């Protein structure tokens, strides 16, 4: 007879439940945090929350272990050993903040550009961007430049929004859903819920992805495309649809610039620009009169064909004619592209036919009257039930911007944007490029000791908006908005460290970063970046980047490379605003925002970064952060969230505004606002009126609703931009027109890549190397259970992915003679890594891939140096360089999209070979073990959680 513990089947769960917002990935689901004995006992999804409606993923529930991670930093730290050693001393907050102030105050007075302030995947960019503006530096951006800016900017410039935070499929009505290159990535739970709806309704899910994992694994059709050729595939689909007449001509005429007249006057300064009237309004040909009229004139109907002779020379034709001319080219025939894209011609034709069938044979009609921007009343809403989603897979290439634009043009040709069953915007989108602010940072906009006149990030509309000086030299440290990356929109965080160390365009004095693991998985050329961070000026003996301030909640690899550490809280110990001013969480049918609030008080000497930033701002005397008497304006970030007004009546949160908390969108600050959010489950939500739910870009009911809510100050209806005049302006400059022209070495590139209609060109890395020597493409994907580098130190999530093998096709495995568990060398033009192999079906035969950010450096994250993440986990980053191989002229281009500067992670080309037997004890390369900062607990060999609540009952088991 023996006694064994038994599971108690109905335990008491918690003493109280607090409702806040998850931060285990970027989706921002609502969560109910169950607390017991003052500790987190359980996290569940909030069923009332608009984002997740109760759904919680593996990451979300593992938030408990994130909160109790042994890798949490405990004190402010000052470096005492050499950079990279990890040797620090604990200091007080007063010392830390005084040190930061002493570093930041003098350069603000002399040259505020000497501060480079960059943040990772933080969710407070409305604050951090404003702080940079008030400080006066143009050198600010978040992680978008190395994430998916091509998708965001391609969307904004084409349709006034993009996927995920900007819009979503009409899950309840769509007939076919096409996912391009999406791993379990951004928009995690909402896509899972949407896919569940589609599967329940028996609708078709199509995946276009070199790898059949994640969402692709449950697709009805998988197109295992060759990386970097998505644009060619999409243009071939467009050709098929145009040839077969399966395009929505009425939709194109009403809602896009397809009828707008484009001047054809080769060699002249107006070639390719829109024909405009004296008021600057683009012109169309009125079908009834044959005359040119403003595109928004009431009572007109337009022609998509025709020609207008221009008195000053040349002609003007509808941009639709240019489209037809470009896309009916045989170069886009399925047979012509099949080998390159890795998809047989018949399958391209089949998908085009499936899209056409869904869009036109399965048209939806909703009996809902609405009024359009010209005042025309419609009795119904016509839907084309085709929806799509894409993210980093098609973005992270040097041809990504044009590919993302092509995808939106495909949607527009089908008439499936912002219609029933199609892709729908989420407020405050749609918001086209011309409604966004332009970036500030030109020499005349940066004044020592003063704020900048505008925000550092925005949308340029032509060369005249670039952030360059009179000689054309870049003014930002990342060279964003220069001729290197004119339409960068999110900056180029991946170039900051290398540019600063090279002093190109100038050196900086302080690098201030938040939540950005640049010494490891967030950088290309990881070893090179570590070297740069420790590189010294041989003349002065000083580090080339003299001062580095870093804020993080955890002991990431980057911590060891900073001089001053400002330890952040976990997401359960802080205030946050999930704000409409930032990256919203609205749904297509409603407006929403949310908060985080301290459901637990920190048990360490840490502070929320946003509160620290406001404190620093006050110490520096930044306008907006101090009262007239010089005292701090805000007690902390919570105080700021309630009381800050970006303009009168508009603050970080749109709900519960005004004296009584009854105002929505606009309203004076409400002292009780945070309490109202907490009482409401941590969020606020408002339905969009029925007549305003579709055609938002052209729907006056929606436009007026948007003005009421404070999204704009006046209605901003617009037409979708299939033909981009902005791109053509840059091309004209490259042809020698205008006052602002690119340098000679970039002219051909601008002419080739800045086509006003989406085009495809081969990825740059493949063109820069001998493709026979590097015949394979190499990719990473983010696993379902992880988010960046946080997840792979979380003991519950590590049990799902403890290391990452390199996945290869069976065909490739046979060719190089390896089986599952063997090791291979993977070599690029830049580096070589030794990694374990796994063999799979369902991968493009020219592609190998692995999970992202699982590998860890020994000593970081409070993991054992023997942890599988350090011995069998690796980074592909070692193979990727931030620069392309040298060209014949000795110049090296950034490994980025030439239009936005998006990091071209997925252009990587490699070759593989079997690793010799006996060499494979662990992955290569390896690096010195980093020391842990002081006051960190020694990580236990086995991390246990919740033992105190495990009750056991003695039972007789011997007689079983
Ligand atoms: S999808 Fe992201 S935000 Fe939502 S529960 Fe999972 S980890 Fe949290």
pLDDT by residue (tens digit) across 431-450?
A: 999 999 999 999 999 999 99
How far, in Å, is the centroid of ligand 1 from the Cα of 596? 14
pLDDT higher than threshold 80 for residue 918: no
What confidence tier does 960 reach under pLDDT thresholds 50, 70, 90?
A: very low
| CA nearest ligand 1 atom 5, residue | 60
| CA nearest ligand 1 atom 2, residue | 25
Arithmetic mean of pLDDT, 106-118: 98
How far, in Å, is the centroid of ligand 1 from the Cα of 52? 8
Let me know: does 508 contact 115? Beta carbons within 8 Å: yes
Helix/strand/coil for 206: strand
Let me know: does 533 contact 570? Beta carbons within 8 Å: no
pTM: 0.96
Per-residue confidence (pLDDT) for residue 955, from 0 to 100 = 44
Distance, in Å, from the CA atom of 468 to the CA atom of 488, rounded to the nearest integer, reads: 13
Q: Among the atoms of ligand 1, which is closest to the Cα of residue 52?
A: 4
Let me know: does 812 contact 783? Beta carbons within 8 Å: no
Mutate to test the pocket of ligand 1, among 20, 21, 24, 165 (most ligand atoms within 8 A of CB): 24
Mutate to test the pocket of ligand 1, among 19, 23, 25, 186 (most ligand atoms within 8 A of CB): 25
Q: Pick the range with the lowest mean pLDDT from 26-30, 562-566, 756-760.
A: 26-30
Distance, in Å, from the CA atom of 27 to the CA atom of 49, rounded to the nearest integer, reads: 12
| pLDDT tens-digit readout, 27-80 | 999 999 999 999 999 999 999 999 999 999 999 999 999 999 999 999 999 999
Let me know: does 137 contact 477? Beta carbons within 8 Å: no
How far, in Å, is the centroid of ligand 1 from the Cα of 183? 15
| pLDDT tens-digit readout, 825-873 | 999 999 999 999 999 999 999 999 999 989 999 999 999 989 999 999 9
| pLDDT tens-digit readout, 446-464 | 999 999 999 999 999 999 9
Arithmetic mean of pLDDT, 144-166: 92
How far, in Å, is the centroid of ligand 1 from the Cα of 516? 20
How far, in Å, is the centroid of ligand 1 from the Cα of 604? 25
Look at 889 and 77; give whichever has higher pLDDT: 77
Per-residue confidence (pLDDT) for residue 581, from 0 to 100 = 94
Mutate to test the pocket of ligand 1, among 26, 42, 60 (most ligand atoms within 8 A of CB): 60
Rg (CA), the chain: 28
How far, in Å, is the centroid of ligand 1 from the Cα of 51? 10
Q: Among the atoms of ligand 1, which is closest to the Cα of residue 188?
A: 1
Arithmetic mean of pLDDT, 617-629: 98
Nearest Cα to 939, choosing from 60, 24, 87, 72? Answer: 72
Q: Among the atoms of ligand 1, which is closest to the Cα of residue 51?
A: 4
Let me know: does 545 contact 537? Beta carbons within 8 Å: no
Nearest Cα to 907, choosing from 766, 792, 797? Answer: 766
How far, in Å, is the centroid of ligand 1 from the Cα of 190? 9
Helix/strand/coil for 745: helix
Arithmetic mean of pLDDT, 728-735: 98
Per-residue confidence (pLDDT) for residue 2, from 0 to 100 = 53
How far, in Å, is the centroid of ligand 1 from the Cα of 885? 39
How far, in Å, is the centroid of ligand 1 from the Cα of 581? 21
Look at 299 and 68; give whichever has higher pLDDT: 68
- Sequence-distant (≥ 6) Cβ neighbours of residue 708 within 8 angstroms: 665, 666
How far, in Å, is the centroid of ligand 1 from the Cα of 858? 28
Determine phi and psi for 139, rounding to 5 degrees. -85, 70
Neighbours of 85 (CB within 10 A): 15
Let me know: does 490 contact 142? Beta carbons within 8 Å: yes
Distance, in Å, from the CA atom of 239 to the CA atom of 952, rounded to the nearest integer, reads: 68
Handedness of CA 153, 158, 159, 160 (dihedral sign): positive
How far, in Å, is the centroid of ligand 1 from the Cα of 785? 10
- Sequence-distant (≥ 6) Cβ neighbours of residue 297 within 8 angstroms: 286, 374
Q: Answer whether the bond into residue 850 is a cis peptide, omega within 30°.
A: no
pLDDT higher than threshold 60 for residue 377: yes
Share of residues in the chain with pLDDT > 90 (%) = 89
Arithmetic mean of pLDDT, 546-565: 97
Q: How would you label 720-748 residue by residue, b for 16+ Cβ within 10 Å and e otherwise?
A: bbbbbbbbbbbbbbbbebeebbbeeebbe
Mutate to test the pocket of ligand 1, among 56, 64, 195, 215 (most ligand atoms within 8 A of CB): 56
How far, in Å, is the centroid of ligand 1 from the Cα of 369? 37
Look at 183 and 738; give whichever has higher pLDDT: 738
Let me know: does 187 contact 164? Beta carbons within 8 Å: yes
Interstrand relation of 315-318 and 261-264 (parallel, antiparallel or unpaired): antiparallel
Q: Among the atoms of ligand 1, which is closest to the Cα of residue 59?
A: 7
Q: Pick the range with the lowest mean pLDDT from 223-237, 587-601, 812-826, 941-955.
A: 941-955
How far, in Å, is the centroid of ligand 1 from the Cα of 62? 10
Nearest Cα to 23, choosing from 392, 573, 429, 680? Answer: 573
| pLDDT tens-digit readout, 696-724 | 999 999 999 999 999 999 999 999 999 99
| CA nearest ligand 1 atom 8, residue | 60
Q: Pick the range with the lowest mean pLDDT from 469-483, 511-525, 877-891, 897-911.
A: 877-891
- Sequence-distant (≥ 6) Cβ neighbours of residue 107 within 8 angstroms: 114, 115, 509, 510
Q: Among the atoms of ligand 1, which is closest to the Cα of residue 192?
A: 1
Per-residue confidence (pLDDT) for residue 186, from 0 to 100 = 72
pLDDT higher than threshold 90 for residue 676: yes
- Residue ranges of the alpha helices (H) in 142-203? 149-158, 188-201
Per-residue confidence (pLDDT) for residue 3, from 0 to 100 = 58
Arithmetic mean of pLDDT, 473-478: 97
| pLDDT tens-digit readout, 318-332 | 999 999 999 999 999
Per-residue confidence (pLDDT) for residue 499, from 0 to 100 = 96
Per-residue confidence (pLDDT) for residue 583, from 0 to 100 = 83
pLDDT higher than threshold 90 for residue 188: no
Q: Among the atoms of ligand 1, which is closest to the Cα of residue 28?
A: 3
Per-residue confidence (pLDDT) for residue 952, from 0 to 100 = 59
Mutate to test the pocket of ligand 1, among 53, 55, 58, 189 (most ligand atoms within 8 A of CB): 189
Q: What is the 3-state secondary structure (H, E, C) of 545-614?
A: CCEEEEEECECCHHHHHCCEEEECCCCCCCCEEECCCCCCCCECCEEEEEEECCCCCCCCCCCCHHHHHH
Q: Answer whether the bond into residue 28 is a cis peptide, omega within 30°.
A: no
How far, in Å, is the centroid of ligand 1 from the Cα of 702? 30
Residue count of the chain: 960
How far, in Å, is the centroid of ligand 1 from the Cα of 188? 7
Q: How is residue 564 written in tokens?
A: 């001053």
How far, in Å, is the centroid of ligand 1 from the Cα of 19? 14
Mutate to test the pocket of ligand 1, among 19, 23, 27 (most ligand atoms within 8 A of CB): 27
Q: Among the atoms of ligand 1, which is closest to the Cα of residue 21?
A: 3
How far, in Å, is the centroid of ligand 1 from the Cα of 26? 7
Pocket of ligand 1 (CB under 6 A): 22, 24-25, 27-29, 52, 56-57, 59-60, 188-189
Per-residue confidence (pLDDT) for residue 313, from 0 to 100 = 93
Per-residue confidence (pLDDT) for residue 821, from 0 to 100 = 92
Determine phi and psi for 322, rounding to 5 degrees. -70, -35
Mutate to test the pocket of ligand 1, among 59, 183, 572, 782 (most ligand atoms within 8 A of CB): 59
| CA nearest ligand 1 atom 4, residue | 29
Q: Among the atoms of ligand 1, which is closest to the Cα of residue 61?
A: 5
DSSP letter at 929 equals: P
């Amino acid at each position: 007879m023996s006694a064994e513990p038994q599971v108690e089947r109905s335990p008491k769960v918690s003493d109280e439940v607090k409702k806040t917002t998850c931060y285990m990935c970027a989706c921002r689901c609502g969560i109910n945090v169950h607390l017991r004995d003052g500790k987190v006992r359980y996290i569940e999804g909030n069923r009332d929350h608009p984002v997740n409606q109760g759904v919680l993923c593996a990451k979300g529930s593992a938030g408990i272990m994130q909160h109790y991670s042994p890798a949490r930093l405990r004190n402010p730290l000052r470096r005492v050993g050499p950079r990279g050693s990890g040797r620090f001393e604990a200091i007080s907050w007063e010392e830390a903040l005084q040190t930061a102030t002493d570093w930041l105050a003098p350069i603000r007075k002399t040259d505020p550009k000497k501060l480079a302030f960059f943040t990772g995947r933080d969710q407070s960019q409305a604050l951090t961007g404003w702080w940079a503006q008030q400080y006066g530096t143009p050198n600010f951006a978040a992680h978008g430049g190395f994430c998916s800016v091509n998708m965001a900017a391609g969307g904004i410039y084409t349709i006034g929004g993009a996927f995920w935070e900007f819009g979503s499929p009409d899950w309840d009505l769509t007939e076919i859903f096409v996912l391009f290159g999406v791993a379990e990535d951004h928009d995690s739970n909402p896509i899972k819920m949407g896919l569940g709806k589609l599967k329940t309704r028996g609708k078709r899910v199509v995946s276009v992805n070199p790898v059949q994992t994640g969402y692709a694994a449950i697709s009805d059709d998988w197109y295992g495309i060759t990386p970097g050729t998505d644009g060619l595939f999409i243009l071939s689909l467009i050709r098929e649809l145009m040839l077969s007449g399966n395009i929505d001509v009425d939709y194109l005429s009403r809602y896009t610039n397809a009828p707008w007249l484009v001047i054809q006057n080769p060699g002249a300064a107006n070639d390719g620009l829109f024909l405009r009237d004296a008021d600057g309004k683009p012109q169309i040909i009125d079908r009834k009169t044959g005359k040119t009229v403003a595109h928004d004139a009431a009572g007109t109907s337009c022609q998509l064909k025709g020609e207008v002779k221009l008195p000053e020379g040349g002609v003007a034709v509808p941009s639709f004619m240019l489209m037809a001319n470009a896309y009916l080219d045989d170069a886009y025939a399925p047979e012509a592209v099949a080998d390159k894209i890795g998809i047989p011609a018949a399958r391209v034709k089949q998908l085009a036919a499936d899209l056409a069938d869904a869009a036109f044979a399965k048209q939806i009609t909703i009996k809902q009257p609405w009024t359009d921007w010209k005042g025309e009343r419609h009795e119904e809403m016509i839907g084309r039930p085709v929806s799509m989603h894409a993210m980093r897979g098609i973005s992270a290439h040097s041809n990504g911007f044009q590919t993302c634009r092509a995808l939106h043009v495909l949607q527009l040709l089908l008439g499936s944007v912002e219609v029933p069953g199609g892709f729908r915007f989420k407020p405050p989108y749609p918001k086209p490029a011309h409604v966004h602010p332009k970036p500030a940072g030109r020499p005349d906009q940066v004044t020592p000791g003063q704020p900048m006149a505008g925000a550092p990030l925005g949308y340029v509309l032509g060369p005249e908006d670039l952030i360059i000086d009179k000689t054309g030299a870049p003014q930002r440290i990342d060279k964003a908005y220069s001729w290197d990356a004119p339409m960068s929109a999110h900056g180029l965080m991946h170039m900051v460290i290398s540019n600063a160390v090279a002093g190109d365009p100038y050196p900086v004095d302080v690098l201030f970063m938040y939540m950005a693991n640049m010494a490891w998985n967030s950088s290309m050329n990881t070893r090179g970046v570590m070297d740069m961070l420790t590189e010294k000026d041989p003349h002065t003996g000083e580090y080339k980047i003299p001062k580095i301030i870093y804020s993080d909640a955890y002991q990431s690899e980057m911590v060891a490379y900073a001089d001053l550490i400002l330890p952040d809280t976990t997401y359960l110990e802080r205030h946050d605003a999930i704000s409409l001013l930032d990256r919203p969480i609205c749904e297509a049918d409603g407006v929403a925002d949310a908060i985080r609030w301290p459901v637990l008080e920190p048990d360490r000497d840490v502070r929320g970064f946003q509160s620290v930033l406001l404190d620093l701002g006050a110490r520096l005397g930044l306008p907006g952060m101090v009262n007239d008497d010089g005292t701090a304006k805000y007690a902390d970030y919570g105080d700021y969230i309630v009381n800050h007004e970006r303009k009168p009546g508009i603050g970080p949160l749109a709900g519960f505004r005004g004296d009584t908390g009854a105002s929505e969108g606009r309203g004076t600050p409400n002292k009780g606002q945070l309490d109202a959010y907490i009482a409401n489950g941590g969020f606020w939500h408002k339905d969009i009126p029925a007549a305003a739910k579709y055609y938002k870009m052209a729907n006056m009911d929606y436009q007026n609703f948007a003005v009421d809510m404070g999204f704009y100050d006046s209605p901003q209806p617009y037409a979708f931009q299939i033909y981009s005049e902005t791109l053509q302006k840059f091309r004209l400059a490259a042809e020698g027109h205008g006052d602002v022209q690119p340098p000679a070495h970039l002219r051909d590139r601008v002419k080739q890549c800045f086509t006003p209609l989406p085009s495809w060109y081969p990825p740059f890395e493949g063109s820069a190397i001998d493709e026979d020597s590097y015949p394979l493409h190499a990719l990473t994907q983010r696993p379902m259970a992880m988010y960046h580098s946080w997840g792979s130190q979380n003991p519950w999530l590590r049990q799902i992915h403890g290391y990452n093998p390199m996945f290869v096709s069976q065909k490739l495995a046979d060719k190089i003679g390896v089986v599952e568990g063997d090791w291979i060398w993977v070599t690029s033009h830049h580096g070589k890594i030794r990694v374990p192999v796994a063999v799979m079906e369902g991968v493009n035969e020219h592609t190998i891939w692995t999970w992202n950010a699982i590998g860890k450096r020994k000593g970081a994250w409070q993991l054992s140096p023997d942890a599988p993440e350090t011995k069998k986990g690796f980074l592909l980053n070692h193979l990727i360089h931030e620069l392309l191989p040298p060209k014949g002229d000795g110049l090296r281009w950034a490994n980025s999209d030439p239009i936005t500067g998006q990091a071209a992670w997925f252009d990587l080309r490699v070759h593989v070979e079997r690793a010799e037997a006996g060499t494979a004890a662990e992955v290569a390369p390896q690096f010195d073990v980093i020391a842990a900062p002081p006051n960190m607990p020694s990580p236990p060999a086995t991390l246990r959680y919740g033992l105190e609540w495990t009750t056991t009952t003695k039972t007789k088991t011997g007689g079983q």
